[in-house]
Amino acid sequence: MHNLDFKASRVSFEEVKRRFPDHPASHYYLAANLFLQTLTQPGRLLPLLSNLSRSKTFGENKEQVDRVTVDQFRALTRQSQQLAKARLKLNARDAEALYFLGATHGLIASFKGTLEGSIVSAMREGSSGVDRHRDVIRLDPQFHDAELSIGLYDYTVGALPLPVKIMASIANFRGSKKRGLETLERVGREGRLGRHIARLVLITLYKREKRYAEAVERARELAASFPRSYLFRLAEADALVSQAADHKRNGKAALAATLESEAFAIFDSLLKSEPGPNFPTPPGELVHFVYGESLLKAGLSTRAAQHFLAATSSSRADTSIVTIAHLRAAQALDLAAKRREALAQYEIVIKLPDVYDSRNRAAQGLRKPYQE
């Protein structure tokens, strides 16, 4: 599943269900497989792998998940919870059943938050999952996988702005960024089922904390463990670019250039990837787009525009990627002082479907040149 071979992983999880029909694991992992297969479609990955998720420049895109997928996911998670609860009726101290009950709550929260846009409902499910996992740790302090949701909860609450944090403490919600990171690091080292997810989460949190070298290290671990996953390679490249930008701010231009070169080499290798028998070819439009974002971060506006435009050329490219790639190409051209070419791209965006507030941003670009 981490190698993005969703067909093979589905076959494996179905075999687990056949061998252990009364265990919640198979239904949980079948649901997780379906969730990741849906989430990793290029159009849905766009805001997760680009500056769309880091900037207020763009609005939201309400892309709906098809009803068949939603119904399948709900059926699988419902079955997982029912099986976990049945085991707990037989033995209230069954830590593994309790773990999967909490993990299923967390998976539902992820689905609701990322694919359905239901933040309040996602928070409710996530909180229920954390409660179950605290119960797991009380039963078995060495069940480190259960600490994944606890650590993420601690960090999230600890990272709230001070006024919100005060209100949260009144409602008995307390957290700590430091404790949350330490917990996630422990899961990354000692967990069995959630070790790789913990490392993936840590990449994002380390970058938020400006601990770029550690973000690169975690990304490289994942890329080495799952060499067929282009997502982990993209995460490694992005972490390298973030670290390079930090070195530039600190006057270490030569070191920054070396890191950027490493990152760009990863993008180039992904664009040259050949398809294998059991894993997908990286979607070229997505790689070109993220490459463009990285080049912009490095101050290479003209090269960035070239890759944004390359992202628009695939006949199979997702509509949202094409639209935003034209918009980002226009903005990159503005930054490169190529106003006439930028205007042509803004005009194209106006005629395309409106995603992530693209038409409004294009209209702004037509009125005056874009500035970061």
* Degrees, nearest 5: CA angle 157-40-82: 65
Number of neighbours of residue 11 by Cβ within 10 angstroms? 10
Task: Render pLDDT for 142-152 as a digit per residue (tens, 0 to 9).
Answer: 999 999 999 98
* Cα 201 from Cα 93, distance rounded (Å): 29
- Give the per-residue pLDDT at 315: 74
Task: Render pLDDT for 200-246 as a digit per residue (tens, 0 to 9).
Answer: 999 999 999 999 999 999 999 999 999 889 999 999 999 999 999 99
- Give the per-residue pLDDT at 57: 43
* Cα 263 from Cα 267, distance rounded (Å): 7
Look up residue 234 and give its amino acid.
L
- Helices (DSSP H) in the chain: which residue ranges? 6-19, 25-39, 42-49, 67-90, 95-111, 119-139, 147-158, 162-170, 177-190, 195-208, 212-225, 230-249, 253-271, 284-297, 301-311, 319-335, 339-351, 358-367
* Cα 301 from Cα 298, distance rounded (Å): 8
At a CB cut-off of 8 Å and minimum separation 6, what does 75 contact? none
Number of neighbours of residue 203 by Cβ within 10 angstroms? 23
Dihedral of CA atoms 360, 43, 290, 323 in degrees, nearest 10, equals -30
Q: Where are the domains of the chain?
A: 1-44+63-133, 142-209
254 has pLDDT over 50 = yes
Could you tell me the pTM of the whole model?
0.86
- Name the pLDDT band for 60 (thresholds 50, 70, 90): low
Task: Render pLDDT for 149-188 as a digit per residue (tens, 0 to 9).
Answer: 999 888 887 775 544 444 444 444 566 889 999 999 999 9
Question: Is 1-44+63-133 a CATH 1.25.40 domain?
Answer: yes
Tokens for 167? 């209100």
* Cα 297 from Cα 245, distance rounded (Å): 7
Mean of the per-residue pLDDT values of the chain: 89
